[in-house]
Amino acid sequence: MVREKVSNPTTPGSASTSRGDQQDEQSGPPFQISKAGWDYERIARRAYELYLQRGQQEGRDLEDWVKAEQQLAGEAGK
């Protein structure tokens, strides 16, 4: 005999939200990114480009990050 677990909606931690509710949270406007997030992504991409240009040499990630920040700040100042 197989017993099914039935959740009580008044019990804390029970699955009181339906799948429809979860889908509603996921729908809406397209993904938006803040200016700070945008800057982070640009710096990360540039730092990765620098890493690739150096032949993927490990251990200089902070140097790449700082150089990428400086380069992008210089572009913004133009």
Whether 35 maps to a domain, the answer reads: no
Q: Do 66 and 51 contact (CB within 8 A), yes or no? A: no
Its domain, for residue 62, covers 45-78
pLDDT in tens, 43-53: 999 999 999 99
Q: Which two tokens stand for residue 10?
A: 């008044």
pLDDT in tens, 16-34: 444 444 554 556 566 665 7
Domain total in the chain: 1
In the structure, what pLDDT confidence band is assigned to residue 14 with cuts at 50, 70 and 90?
Answer: very low
Identify the DSSP state of 67.
H
Whether 49 maps to a domain, the answer reads: yes
Q: What is the pLDDT of residue 41?
A: 93
